[in-house]
Every structure is written in structure tokens, then in C-alpha cells.
Amino acid sequence: MVNPQMVMYEEEFNQIQGVVDRLVKDANAKVVFIVDKNGQLIAASGDVDNLDTTSLASLTAGNIAATGGMAKLLKENEFATQFHEGEKANIHIQLVGNRVILVVIFDSKSSLGLVRLRVRRASEELNHIFEALLKKVADPGADSPFAEITDEDIDNLFND
């Protein structure tokens, strides 16, 4: 496979969760979440109970992919920031380290300026965490929990 496997461990997850939890408070946001570029939700914080984060994650990744496609056509490397303004809710989308996507949903209790400011700091922190995570994943000593699954394990999934 061309891409390294995306893996999340407890230690890094807790660090990432710490960053998004803090960003919700610092930016006065409603919801903050992190998605990988393939649309898999990595972490979320804030008022997520009534939100379909799985769908939002997939659509965010689609959005970033489409914008990245446009950038390529314009010979730009990437459009790293997007902002969508609604009547009540706004979405700020930031590509972090060209690897993961940081999404902040906020309303009139916050402002674009504050969100941008806080996102900048959070992006730097996240970038460090994901760099360390990638190094750890690339370490050949790390075993996949799936190395020892049997045909039977797989078949059992499909026994209705």
C-alpha cells in the first residue's frame, strides 16, 4: 500500500482530545472535530450529541478533496483554510500539516477572528502530535492487532 496505515494510540488520542477540548473553550465554539483526509473521524468535542459527526466527517473530507482538486488546477499547493457562513452556524475548516482536517463550528457567541486565532495555535500543537504519531506508526516494531485473525474470525462477522 502506498499510504502508511493510519493508527491511533491511547496516548496520542488523549493529547489530541486535550487540544480539541481546549479549542472548544478558547474559541467559544459549539463543536470542534478532527477528521483524516479520507473522512474518518478522529476526535470530537463540544455539543456533539445531536450532531451526525460521521456524515459531517465524510462531507468535510469530500469538501477538502474537492478544494484540493481546484487548487491543483490553479497550480496552488493547497487551499488550507475554508470558511462557510450560515445564518446561525458557521464552519471554519483548516487543513493541518496536509494530513488531518480541523473543523470548528461556531455561532454568534464567537467570531471568525477569534476562531482563526485559536485554530492557528491548535494547528501547531496538532501538527506536532501527528508527526510523532506517524513516526511511531512507521516503527516496524508496532504489531497490527489483525496479524493473527483467522478466516473463521472473518467468516463469523457475516453469520447473520
Partner 1 sequence: MSFINYMAREINCKIVYYGPGLCGKTTNLQYIYERTNPDAKGKMISLATETDRTLFFDFLPLALGEIRGFKTRFHLYTVPGQVFYDASRKLILKGVDGVVFVADSQVDRMEANEESVENLKTNLEEQGYKLEKIPYVIQYNKRDLPEVASVEELREKLNPMNVPDFEGVARTGVGVFDTLKAVAKLVLTELRKGGP
Q: Which residues bind partner 1 (CB under 8 A)?
A: 1-10, 13-14, 36-40, 42, 52, 54-55, 58-59, 62, 65-66, 68-69, 137-138, 142-149, 151, 153-158
- Half-sphere exposure of residue 146, counting CA atoms within 13 Å on the CB side? 4
CB of 39 to partner 1, least distance (A): 7
Nearer to partner 1, 42 or 119 (CB): 42
Residue closer to partner 1 (CB basis): 59 or 132: 59
Given a contact cutoff of 8 angstroms between Cβ atoms, the answer to whether 101 and 93 are in contact is yes
Least CB distance to partner 1 at residue 20 (A) = 13
Minimum Å distance from CB 94 to partner 1? 19
Indicate the residue among 67 and 110 with the shorter CB distance to partner 1.
67
Cα 104 from Cα 18, distance rounded (Å): 15
For residue 87, give Cα distances in angstroms to 24, 104, 129: 20, 16, 35
DSSP string, 26-71: HTT-SEEEEEETTS-EEEEEES-TTS-HHHHHHHHHHHHHHHHHHH
Task: Extract the C-alpha cell encoding 23.
Answer: 479549542
Q: Minimum Å distance from CB 153 to partner 1?
A: 5
CA distance 134 to 27: 28
- Which residue, 10 or 87, has its beta carbon nearer to partner 1? 10
Closer residue to partner 1 (CB): 32 or 57: 57
